[in-house]
Amino acid sequence: MAQSAAWLVLMGRGLRWLSPFAGGISGRFATMGLMGIVGCAIAPSVVQAETVRVAIPIVRENDETYQNLLTRAENIARAATQRSFDQSILNTHAIVTILGQNNGAVVPVLKLEVNRGDWQAFPDPQRWAKYYTNANLLLGIEDSPSPTPTIAPPAPEPLPDLQPDLPEVLPDLETDDPILPGLPAPFPSLPALPPLP
């Protein structure tokens, strides 16, 4: 009975191929084919890292400020980045772009680009995101400026007293004297006028 397989036989000094077809050309091809199969089974194939690219649109809600839209974009970018790394161990790089939509305009708001190691060390979208500074103007969202806190000017320092210390002289006041200290003296009293008829 003819056999169509090759065997590895341990000889005194090493391995030796025994093949029933070793004598003919077809036997040599069969032996080379088996060696190729064995070689593929022993040597693993090359694994390639993959970059995940995701673009996610978000629509502005009624009367939503740009800052609130940006906060939502950061939260969505965080979740999408984590999901892309969780999907496959081969995903080693993630690029997540968040597109804002308002009244038909579509503009990139932020782009988060990070590799797996950096994301595992610092999973914060603000650290890895690139923000597009004029996106709010392109979307037509003009936030009212935030109220700036009013800071009271510092109290002026008192001026040094340039007059020498003089003893303060207060007039002796009688109890019936209408003059109070610190007030100007009243006008002298006028003579009383006779009553009009």
pLDDT at 121: 93
Report d(CA 73, CA 58) in Å as an integer: 7
As a whole number of angstroms, the distance between CA 110 and CA 74 comes to 8
Which pairing describes strands 91-102 and 50-59: parallel, antiparallel, or unpaired? parallel
pTM tops 0.85: no
43 CB contacts (<8 Å, ≥6 apart)?
none
Q: Residue 135: enclosing H or E segment and its boundaries? A: helix 135-139
Cα dihedral 189, 190, 192, 197 sign? negative
| Predicted local distance difference test score (pLDDT) of residue 71 | 94
Checking 187-192 for CB contacts under 8 A at 24+ apart, the result is: none
Can you give the pLDDT of all 197 residues of the chain as single tens digits?
444 444 444 444 555 555 555 555 555 555 666 566 655 556 566 667 789 999 999 999 988 999 999 999 999 999 999 999 999 889 899 999 999 999 899 999 999 999 999 999 999 999 999 999 889 999 988 865 444 445 556 666 766 666 556 556 555 555 555 555 555 555 556 666 677 76
| Coil, helix or strand at residue 17 | strand
